[in-house]
Amino acid sequence: MKEIVYTKSAPEAIGPYSQAVKVKVTEMLFCSGQLPIDTNTNQIISGSPIEETRKVMDNLKDIIEAADYSMNDVVKTTIYLTDLSVFKEVNEVYASYFHGSFPARSTVQVSTLPKGATIEIDMIACK
């Protein structure tokens, strides 16, 4: 279903992502961007970049599993950061949620995010 596309004719991945992901799709799941919101309080958690990234990824994982998908079905993500200087910490946490192959990914710095968050991630998964 999911095939990682790799060519030496393009730059190597410099993080936990693939150059491209090819899928034969029967079903797609588009996850809206998630913030580091504690579902018990409905408030943004304020913590280290590691804690905030873990909360965002846990929220996304819960949504993906509620739709009867797994993190292995994720083919594309976008990470939005208000400060790219935390990229290394974010990258380490992000990578720990995927086993085997990584989805295609974009990471961008933005000036602001809803509710004053410092990170937001969205995902696309396919079956």
pLDDT of residue 30: 93
Assess contact for 6 and 22: CB atoms under 8 A.
no
Q: What is the pTM of this model?
A: 0.86
Residue 78 has pLDDT above 80, yes or no: yes
**Residue 25 — very low, low, confident or very high, per pLDDT cuts 50/70/90?**
confident
Q: Over the stretch 37-64, which tens digit does the pLDDT of each residue have?
A: 999 999 999 899 999 999 999 999 999 9
pLDDT of residue 127: 87
The full set of domains in the chain, from first to last, is 2-126 (3.30.1330.40)
Work out the mean pLDDT of the chain and round it to a whole number: 94
Bridge partners for 80 per DSSP: 108, 120
SS3 for 63? helix
Local structure of residue 68 (DSSP, 8 states)? T
